[in-house]
Structure 1
């Protein structure tokens, strides 16, 4: 089902932030905002919920730490114990200071790689995906805000014009 949206194009991020606050204060729904670079505070101005990305990163780090401990315990203690530099080879705990760099690196490795995979899956990005950007200027120096309309098109158009939009377009969003 297609819905009607108004695309307001801005050429300054400060003007965009002010416009977002005015549109939200007027209780209109902002579908999406396209920017050429991250705009600090835009998520809070739009009223978006905080992400749980830090929690998933921590959990992925714990997975990496668990894999590192299991791997080192099996390889260096159970499977093929060796006397390296006079260190005892019968206890993981006694050898742990030598294993700290490996544990750290595996924690970072798992957290980083699994976060990239999670980001791509969550954002629905994959190779050869067609771009969903409605205006190519938003990859260079313009900002685009899509506001949904349902019978109040003139009111929204006048509000967006007052906020400093340099261009307004009405289109169907699928």
Structure 2
């Protein structure tokens, strides 16, 4: 039943299938290029989605370059901040005690960090700051994971300083 020719055909079939599998893997890696980037630079696995282009983003970036946060915050427009808050609305609520994915932001400006009762914080925030001052909020909103490494907040941050200042002015007008 099993002679040398049958054994050779079976072994050849397995080797051929394995070769086709390896060639398919190589072709897929070439097409999708999951390795490093061009010239040795690394690329992240995913796409960056810019959240800009909304009505709160009408200030030019050139106007911010020479201004400090204090100057931007003094000239901030809470109305524009309300529009910027649309980016936060998916995870945060403004009603006192109404926690969602994130803690409520009612009276957040000047509030102790990690002080919302009934919300389970990750612990990384309390190591970063004691009070949510406008300056601390500005630094956190610019780069949440850079400001408080280990935070569970998945928001990438707000790049424009004027958007951050407007948002903080809006949050300051909500609450106590």
Fold match, TM over 0.5? no
Higher strand share: 1
Q: TM-score, normalised by structure 1?
A: 0.29
Q: TM-score, normalised by structure 2?
A: 0.29
